Amino acid sequence: MLTTILFTSCIIASLTQGLSNIQVEVDGASQDYFFRVTLNNIDASSCGTSVTGVNILVNGAYVSYSNTYNGNEFTFDYKGTKFSDMLPISLQIKTGASTINLPGVVKTLNGGAVYTADATICSGETAKPTTPKPTMKPTAPTTPFPTGESVCISKSAIEWKSYNNQLILNGNRFNMKGLSWFGFETTNYGLYGLDKHNMNWYFDW
């Protein structure tokens, strides 16, 4: 089983390493009020997806292309800012799996200019998962074994032991509880549900 996993990993790594970096070629028709590029090496089938959009950065916001031809030629219409004033021009390629940003990739509007990006079509930032919605009440914790009675012990008399895969505190089996709580991995960087109840409410088992 281990040999199969390693072999599969090697195949995937080989496919990824064999990809060529994205190339951006400026079309000869490009000028202050019209911009067209040909994007090469954007076949995303090797990473199990396809290109879903190409955007250009205009005044701090990405704007989608106006027309596309042959699957790799993209045109952009004038949006109030001359394309020469936007140099170096930043592009963004979206696939079904990721977003590839090409900051300042186009340096001139001269037709025939070709720029090679640092990224491949299979690189980029993966799509963010949908943030789960907190429930109004936490799910009741499961108890795999019957919970023992509460025992109060002074600090000086504490004696720990372990045997038969159990923790023993002064002759009593010590049961531990755990809580998996989402929130820190999201853009809120905090535990979900605290807007509904305080922490003591959730820990009241």
Q: Closest Cα partner for 48 from 15, 6, 74, 17?
A: 15
| pLDDT tier, 188 (very low <50, low <70, confident <90, very high otherwise) | confident
**Segment 93-102 mean pLDDT:** 91
Q: Highest-confidence range of 50-64, 125-139, 156-170, by mean pLDDT?
A: 50-64
42 or 187, which is more confident? 42
Q: Per-residue pLDDT for 130 more than 60?
A: no
pTM over cut 0.75: no
pLDDT at 144: 54
**Segment 117-144 mean pLDDT:** 65
Q: Per-residue pLDDT for 147 more than 80?
A: no
* Torsion of the alpha carbons at 47, 48, 54 and 58, rounded to the nearest 10: -60
Instruction: Mean pLDDT check: name the lowest of 78-82, 124-128, 130-134, 196-200.
Output: 124-128
Phi first, then psi, for residue 2 (nearest 5°) are: -65, -40
pLDDT at 51: 92
**Segment 66-94 mean pLDDT:** 92
Q: Per-residue pLDDT for 157 more than 90?
A: no
Whole-angstrom Cα distance, residue 55 to residue 72?
A: 13
pLDDT at 112: 94
Q: Per-residue pLDDT for 17 more than 80?
A: no
| Residues 106-119: tens digit of each pLDDT | 999 999 999 999 88
Instruction: Mean pLDDT check: name the lowest of 30-39, 73-82, 96-105, 152-161.
Output: 152-161
Q: Per-residue pLDDT for 189 more than 70?
A: yes
